[in-house]
């Protein structure tokens, strides 16, 4: 920790690490090359699946459906942070509703969809929508 003294005599931390420890998945943004060499994406994916947090379970479903593979911890963390907000918007929906919407988007559209797209379409009556293909 880098500390500096202010003119008022108080010590402040000048370390600019962005460590957000609010999540039960303990995202550590400091990734060493040693940690990267021991990276096990499947193990981390399983942690998402078995998490008590619904948003992490939803991210597991989405990543599994899309076939995402992250070969190091930093890529995993960036993707996780990117998808957390959108997954939070889907917390009230069942796995089946989310999976049905992802299947419809995959089969009936040319859209490169994200969790935001799933949220946009999940309340629609998909059976009545025309395919969206160009």
Contacts of 59 (CB under 8 A, 6+ apart): 48, 80, 83, 84, 87, 115
- What pLDDT is recorded for position 6? 53
**C-alpha–C-alpha distance, residues 133 and 109, integer Å:** 5
- Report whether 47 contacts 36 (CB < 8 A): no
**pLDDT for residue 15 is more than 70:** no
Lookup: tokens for 53: 């947090």
Q: What is the pLDDT of residue 9?
A: 55
Residue 20's pLDDT band (cuts 50, 70, 90): very low
For residue 19, name the pLDDT band (cuts at 50, 70, 90): very low
Contacts of 23 (CB under 8 A, 6+ apart): 53
Domain ranges of the chain: 41-122
What is the token pair recorded at 81? Answer: 């942070």
Q: Is the pLDDT of residue 29 over 70?
A: no
Q: Is the pTM of this model over 0.75?
A: no
Backbone torsion region of residue 62, taken as left when φ is above 0, otherwise alpha when ψ lies between -120 and 50, otherwise beta = alpha
pLDDT in tens, 45-62: 999 999 999 999 999 999
Instruction: Dump pLDDT digits (tens) for 69-109.
Output: 999 999 999 999 999 999 999 999 999 999 999 999 999 99
Whether the Cβ atoms of residue 96 and residue 59 lie closer than 8 Å to each other: no
- How many of the other CB atoms lie within 10 Å of CB of 100? 15
């Amino acid at each position: 920790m880098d500390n500096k003294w202010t003119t008022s005599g108080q010590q402040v931390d000048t370390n600019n690490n962005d460590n957000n420890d609010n999540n039960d998945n303990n995202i550590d943004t400091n990734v060493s090359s040693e940690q990267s060499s021991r990276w096990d994406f499947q193990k981390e994916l399983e942690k998402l699946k078995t998490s008590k947090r619904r948003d992490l379970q939803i991210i597991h479903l989405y990543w599994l459906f899309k076939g995402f593979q992250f070969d190091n911890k930093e890529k995993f963390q960036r993707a996780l942070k990117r998808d957390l907000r959108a997954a939070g918007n889907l917390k009230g929906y069942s796995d089946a509703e989310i999976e049905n919407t992802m299947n419809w988007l995959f089969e009936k559209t040319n859209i490169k969809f994200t969790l935001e797209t799933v949220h946009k379409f999940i309340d629609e009556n998909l059976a009545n929508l025309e395919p969206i293909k160009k």
